[in-house]
Chains A and B, each alone.
Chain A
Amino acid sequence: MSDRDRPLKIVLIDASPVRAAIMEQGLRDAGHTTIMRITDHVNLLARIYAIDPDVILIDLENPSRDVLEQMFQVSRAVRRPVGMFVDQSDSASIEAAIDAGVSAYVVDGLKRERVQPILETTISRFRAFAKLRAELEQAKGQLEERKTVDRAKGILMRAKKIDEEEAYALLRKVAMNEKKKIVEIAQSVITAAELLG
């Protein structure tokens, strides 16, 4: 089998199991079959040497990145030297990867056209995951806001003997007058109620 056809061994080092799963699926969809996931940092280098991968992908929130940097060294311990796109012409790829929150380490001598699609898949999956996480955060935030407004409405309904619609209208009116968000006014109502007991 020529080097061209040999399947590439890919290691994913990611503290987030969900993101690692999304990445693995993306790489499998792109036709890669030899993918290993590492989620902790115990004896990382020894394990990587045992796997002997062609490509290593690691998330940037991972402190183990510095451990990988040791693989650049021309030391007896390293069987195959690894580089992170040390070719200056790859700076756009590096920038895209770092922006997406991932870094790649590639065994020396591996053809760039074989690595590029892997990197592109990884970057797009990382971006998709970040978007998903942002949406989830937003949804969580909205839910929290609704809970706050509901609590404030309840307090107003009891205190002023008004119905829910009137309570909401009151919050909205004060928010508009003070140029604030309804949730901020709702929070002040709750704080005031807590203070006044």
Chain B
Amino acid sequence: MSLDPVKIGFIPLVDAAIPIIAADVGFAAEEGIALELVREVSWANIRDRLTLGHFDGAHLLAPIAIATTLGLGTIKVPLAAPLALGLNGNAMTMSPPLFEDIRRHMAPGADMADPRATGAAFRAVVENRRRNGDEPPTLGMTFPFSTHNYQLRLWLAAAGVEPDEDVRLAVVPPPFMVDALENAHVEGFCVGAPWNSVAVEYNLGRILHLGTDLVRRCPEKVLAVRANWLARNPELAARLVRACVRAAEWLDEPNHREEAARRLAAPNRLDVHAPIIQRALDGRLPTGDGDEIRACDSYVLFGADGATRPDPRHARWLHAQMVRWRQASDDPAGADLAAASYRTDVYDAALGRDAPQQADDPLGVFTD
């Protein structure tokens, strides 16, 4: 049997696990697909190579898929997300001096896992620096259209820190985040796994928050394809969705975590030590603050709790973040287009499942 070739671009991150496992454990081949994965160095490359047709699909930041569909800052090419590549996986990490500075400014008895409490302390740090005539902190995030950007802004704005005035937000590609912290180009960052744990491992950073402290079910990456590719290859797309869902279910098995970490660690995949990757899969992250370990079963979600089913309410929330931070105009048609790019129908049809009962609150944002 000859396999149908499908080429997918990815960035070295733990949430690229679904396509990596689909390709490397054989779920793609079981669906008659020769899945070729291409590691890329920038989100902009992945976006352009997807829109130009070099790639059939991409491990893509969900907000980029929406921005490209709407033509924000790039050529307008309608994309579709027939599958979410899981949920969550981010964390906020601060340099040890900034982490200590935040701790010093915490209200007595306040919980370091409470983003309102740490936000207030961070605001005090920023105000203190301003009074002393010092530079405001620079925080790293991965892309203007990224949940990392929005999570940082959510945390800052809730504490009354104006993200575009009181601090600097700088784009740093995920694999360079730890370097940027070491070279003091940033004093903290929000990035996906495994890069927070890499910073902790080298004693360059302390994890201040898991992404789940801010948003309990946060959209992250999607499997993005061109809308016209999906229209022309409905049957192939359905097989791709099934292969990915199988991979996600495989990833959910705790006794597969060691093998998953080993496979993700490969030089042509993430090229990071397997035990550091496994911290994310186990949802047990040493924070670097003494012996503290933050445990969270939903730190990164693959197949569990319907995490692969693209939820149009997530797309609407991401569009609302773009509007809030002046990346998109406040246009209901834009929000509708964003929601329509999440192809729940394609997902349900591929799996032959009825639409499941959905939770009332798809996100769980800490400010709501």
- State in angstroms the CA–CA spacing of A25 and B164 once bound together: 39
A63 touching B41, Cβ below 8 Å: yes
Task: List residues 158-172 of chain B with CB under 8 A from any CB of chain A.
Answer: 164-165, 168, 170-172
Q: What are the interface flags for A60-76 relative to B under an 8 Å C-beta threshold, 1 for contact and 0 otherwise?
A: 11111111111011111
- B-contacting 9-mer, from A1-9, A37-45, A155-163: A37-45
Known interface pairs A43-B185, A69-B171, A74-B326. Does A63 touch B42 (Cβ–Cβ under 8 Å)?
Answer: yes
Q: Compute the total of residue contacts between A and B using a CB distance below 8 Å.
A: 80
- State in angstroms the CA–CA spacing of A42 and B76 once bound together: 31
From B54, B76, B168, B185, A88 is in contact (CB under 8 Å) with: B76
The 3 closest A-B pairs by CB, nearest first: A72-B73, A63-B173, A65-B42
A91 touching B75, Cβ below 8 Å: yes
Counting CB contacts under 8 A, is B45 at the interface?
Answer: yes
Known interface pairs A63-B173, A98-B52. Does A77 touch B168 (Cβ–Cβ under 8 Å)?
Answer: yes
Given contacts A67-B172, A72-B73, 15 further A-B contacts (CB under 8 A): A45-B170, A62-B41, A62-B42, A63-B176, A66-B44, A66-B142, A66-B173, A69-B171, A73-B144, A83-B73, A84-B74, A86-B71, A88-B75, A94-B75, A98-B54
- State in angstroms the CA–CA spacing of A53 and B44 once bound together: 20
Counting CB contacts under 8 A, is B183 at the interface?
Answer: yes
The residues of B with any CB-CB pair to A shorter than 8 Å are 41-45, 48-49, 52, 54, 71-76, 142-144, 164-165, 168, 170-173, 175-176, 183, 185, 326-327
* Residues from chain A with Cβ under 8 Å of B73 in the complex: 69, 72-73, 83-84, 86
A103 touching B183, Cβ below 8 Å: no
A66 touching B42, Cβ below 8 Å: yes
- State in angstroms the CA–CA spacing of A111 and B237 once bound together: 41
B173 touching A94, Cβ below 8 Å: no
The residues of A with any CB-CB pair to B shorter than 8 Å are 41-43, 45, 60-70, 72-77, 83-86, 88, 90-91, 94-95, 98, 103
Known interface pairs A65-B42, A98-B52, A103-B44. Does A73 touch B185 (Cβ–Cβ under 8 Å)?
Answer: no
From B49, B74, B171, B173, A98 is in contact (CB under 8 Å) with: B49
A42 touching B183, Cβ below 8 Å: yes
- State in angstroms the CA–CA spacing of A45 and B186 once bound together: 13
B52 touching A95, Cβ below 8 Å: yes
* Residues from chain A with Cβ under 8 Å of B327 in the complex: 73-74
* Nearest chain A residue, comparing its CB with the CB of B185: A43
- State in angstroms the CA–CA spacing of A83 and B44 once bound together: 13
- State in angstroms the CA–CA spacing of A94 and B52 once bound together: 9
Known interface pairs A43-B185, A66-B173. Does A77 touch B164 (Cβ–Cβ under 8 Å)?
Answer: yes
CB distance from B79 to the nearest CB of A (A): 15
- State in angstroms the CA–CA spacing of A66 and B183 once bound together: 19
* Residues from chain A with Cβ under 8 Å of B172 in the complex: 67
B144 touching A72, Cβ below 8 Å: yes
A94 touching B171, Cβ below 8 Å: no
- State in angstroms the CA–CA spacing of A75 and B162 once bound together: 12
